[in-house]
């Protein structure tokens, strides 16, 4: 796969199966922001394997030129319903577990804080567009702590958008946690349309037509 130079310190390219271990390490060091990083390792690793293997998933990695270390990773799924169905057909229990851990974590976090438990937040997803090959959903974007604030997440999104557009995508969607101001800033800066959801999180959409 071709490496593209961002500047003299970093390269960007599409993610490949050989990046597996580095991506696992990177996601371990980033607080839970994506579905697969909210669960225990025994299903996080297979989930990353599916992400890297499935052609419905577009993935991008940035690595440091000198060390070869992965500094950032982003992935988006076209037709998520089809992707999760494929995943479920291979390992039905794991899909159930992903959903279970996500919902249980939010439920207990709210319970412990003695906040009003929002049934919306526990049981509903943000409103996504119809699941088709033309619309992609971000499943992960993250940059390792020491490489942040250098425009790398911006580069990840730019490259991801280009790849998706080549595959015929017209739009990318993302879910932003209401408690993640850095993610909100990143999406605002990179031109996403952002809508606040009733439960406090945000849904973001980036049209690819004008890219
Ligand atoms: C959110 C995240 C991906 C941003 O990565 P990054 O490489 O630092 O982002 P960039 O350098 O491209 O910055 C993009 C914009 O975000 C904002 N931003 C990023 N870090 C910031 C900080 N510490 N303080 C204030 N603004 C910040 C800025 O507006 C910046 O644009 P600017 O520098 O032109 O003003 C990174 O902080 C991260 O990995 N966080 C943990 C994972 C996560 O939350 N992912 C998002 C889930 S949806």
| CATH code of the domain covering residue 34 | 3.40.630.30
Residue of 182, 184, 189, 205 best suited for mutating to test ligand 1, as the one with most atoms within 8 Å of CB: 182
**pLDDT in the model for residue 78:** 96
Nearest to 95 by CA among 84, 79, 103, 106: 84
**pLDDT in the model for residue 97:** 65
Q: Is the pLDDT at 48 greater than 90, yes or no?
A: no
Domain total for the chain? 1
Protein residue with its CA nearest to atom 35 in ligand 1: 189
Residue of 143, 156, 201, 204 best suited for mutating to test ligand 1, as the one with most atoms within 8 Å of CB: 143
Q: What are 91-139's pLDDT values in tens digits? A: 656 666 666 676 677 667 766 665 555 555 555 555 788 889 999 999 8
Q: Is residue 193 part of a domain?
A: no
Of the listed ranges 8-17, 42-51, 156-165, the one predicted with least confidence: 42-51
Q: What are 52-97's pLDDT values in tens digits? A: 999 999 999 999 999 999 999 999 999 988 887 777 777 656 666 6
Q: Is residue 169 part of a domain?
A: no
Q: Is residue 82 part of a domain?
A: yes
Identify which of 24-38, 92-106, 136-150, 196-210 has the greatest average pLDDT: 136-150
Q: Is residue 201 part of a domain?
A: no
Q: Is residue 112 part of a domain?
A: yes
Q: Is 38 in the pocket of ligand 1 (CB under 6 A)?
A: no
Protein residue with its CA nearest to atom 29 in ligand 1: 185
Q: Is residue 199 part of a domain?
A: no
Its domain, for residue 13, covers: 4-163
Q: Is residue 89 part of a domain?
A: yes
Q: What are 152-192's pLDDT values in tens digits? A: 999 999 999 999 999 999 999 999 989 899 999 999 999 99
**pLDDT in the model for residue 156:** 98
Q: Is 180 in the pocket of ligand 1 (CB under 6 A)?
A: yes
Q: Is 154 in the pocket of ligand 1 (CB under 6 A)?
A: yes
Q: Is residue 32 part of a domain?
A: yes
């Amino acid at each position: 796969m071709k490496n593209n130079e961002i500047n003299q310190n970093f390269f960007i390219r599409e993610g490949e199966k050989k990046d597996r271990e580095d991506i696992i390490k990177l996601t371990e060091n980033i607080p839970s922001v994506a579905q697969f990083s909210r669960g225990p390792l025994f299903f996080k690793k297979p989930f990353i394997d599916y992400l890297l293997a499935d052609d419905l998933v577009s993935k991008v990695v940035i690595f440091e030129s000198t060390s070869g270390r992965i500094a950032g990773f982003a992935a988006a799924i076209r037709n998520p319903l089809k992707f999760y169905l494929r995943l479920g057909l291979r390992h039905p229990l794991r899909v159930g577990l992903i959903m279970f851990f996500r919902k249980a974590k939010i439920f207990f976090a709210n319970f412990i804080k003695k906040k009003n438990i929002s049934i919306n937040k526990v049981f509903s997803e943000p409103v996504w567009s119809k699941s088709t090959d033309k619309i992609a959903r971000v499943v992960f974007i993250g940059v390792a702590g020491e490489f942040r604030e250098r425009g790398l997440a911006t580069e990840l999104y730019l490259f991801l958008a280009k790849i998706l557009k080549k595959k015929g995508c017209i739009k990318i969607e993302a879910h932003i946690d209401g408690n993640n101001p850095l993610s909100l800033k990143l999406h605002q800066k990179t031109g996403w349309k952002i809508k606040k959801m009733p439960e406090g999180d945000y849904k973001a959409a980036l049209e690819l037509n004008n890219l």
